[in-house]
Amino acid sequence: MSILICDDNEDLREILSVILKDKYHVITAKNGLEGISKFMQHRPKVVLMDLKMPGMSGIEATKKITEIEPDTCVIGFTAYAATKAQEFLNAGVKAIIEKPIKMSKLIEQINLICQMQNMNNH
Helix (H) or strand (E) holding 101: none
In this predicted model, what pLDDT tens digit does every residue of 63-121 receive, in sequence order?
999 999 998 999 998 887 667 788 888 999 988 888 888 888 888 888 887 777 666 65
Q: How many domains does the chain have?
A: 1
Q: Residue 56 belongs to what domain range?
A: 2-120
Q: What is the CATH number of the domain that holds 40?
A: 3.40.50.2300
Q: How many CB atoms sit inside 10 A of residue 78's CB?
A: 22
Residue 120 has a pLDDT of: 64
Compute the radius of gyration of the chain from its Cα atoms: 13
Q: Are 36 and 57 in contact (CB under 8 A)?
A: no
Task: State percent of the chain over pLDDT 90.
Answer: 62
